[in-house]
């Protein structure tokens, strides 16, 4: 049965999963890239971007797991790009260049319609205006029995958690304190929502904590 999974989602010790003041120069917010420093040295990341070989320790193994059995992605509009409001044109095609790292259909939540955007490598961005449930329904249909990965950003993950739609959440907890930014769990009672800790793996630069929805 297809699951909705959040994987390798960076979070600081004080609970922030993005820095403040996101813009074109700071897509993860100010100091936000510190949340992903564990990932940027892995073999998965290096090979994905044609940068040769990277480290192959526990962090890399956890990153690899995040791509296993994924048939579709869901992204918030902020994850797709910095454009706000109605699309001024179709020139913005994401942060990733001509070949995004998804290689499967990706469904972008937005309030403003836009035609599907096919990219190199098998990724097609579909823009969903009907809300989180409709996006999940479309993504699961496109995944054809494989899992759907929820990529973010923070507000999108929070919406799906509040709706109890996330089956598994794997956090990459970084030993840093951001002090400000987007708080992942603020005002969310995970226990009341039906989530429990299911294990952890110590990596070289992050601790990977798994939360699962109780059956």
Cα 56 to chain centroid distance, Å, stands at: 21
Indicate yes or no: pTM above 0.85: yes
CB contact at 8 A, 71 and 2: yes
pLDDT score, position 27: 82
CA atoms of 6 and 210, how far apart (whole Å): 10
In this structure, what token pair is assigned to residue 167?
């089956």
The pLDDT of residue 176: 97
Per-residue pLDDT of the chain (215 residues; tens, 9 = 90+): 899 999 999 999 999 999 988 887 888 889 999 999 999 999 999 998 889 999 999 999 999 999 999 999 999 998 998 888 999 998 999 988 999 999 999 999 999 999 999 999 999 999 999 999 999 999 999 999 999 999 999 999 999 999 999 999 999 999 999 999 999 999 999 999 999 999 999 999 999 999 999 98
The domain spans of the chain are: 4-19+30-83+100-213
- Out of 3.40.50.2000, 3.40.50.150, 3.40.430.10, 3.40.228.10, select the CATH number for domain 4-19+30-83+100-213: 3.40.430.10
């Amino acid at each position: 049965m297809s699951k909705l999974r959040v994987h390798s989602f960076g979070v600081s010790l004080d609970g922030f999963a993005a820095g403040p003041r996101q813009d074109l120069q700071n897509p993860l917010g100010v100091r936000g890239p510190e949340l992903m420093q564990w990932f940027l040295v892995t073999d998965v990341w290096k090979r994905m971007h044609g940068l040769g070989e990277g480290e192959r320790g526990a962090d890399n193994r956890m990153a690899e797991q995040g791509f296993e059995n994924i048939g579709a992605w869901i992204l918030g509009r902020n994850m797709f790009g910095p454009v706000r409001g109605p699309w001024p044109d179709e020139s913005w095609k994401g942060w990733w260049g001509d070949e995004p790292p998804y290689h499967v259909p990706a469904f972008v939540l937005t309030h403003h319609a836009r035609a599907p955007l096919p990219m190199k490598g098998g990724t097609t961005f579909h823009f969903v205006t009907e809300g989180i449930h409709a996006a999940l329904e479309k993504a699961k249909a496109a995944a054809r029995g494989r899992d759907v990965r929820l990529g973010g950003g923070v507000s999108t993950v929070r919406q799906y958690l509040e709706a109890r739609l996330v089956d598994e959440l794997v956090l990459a907890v970084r030993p840093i304190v951001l002090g400000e930014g987007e708080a992942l769990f603020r005002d969310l009672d995970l226990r009341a929502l039906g989530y429990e800790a299911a294990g952890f793996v110590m990596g070289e630069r992050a601790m990977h904590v798994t939360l699962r929805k109780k059956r």
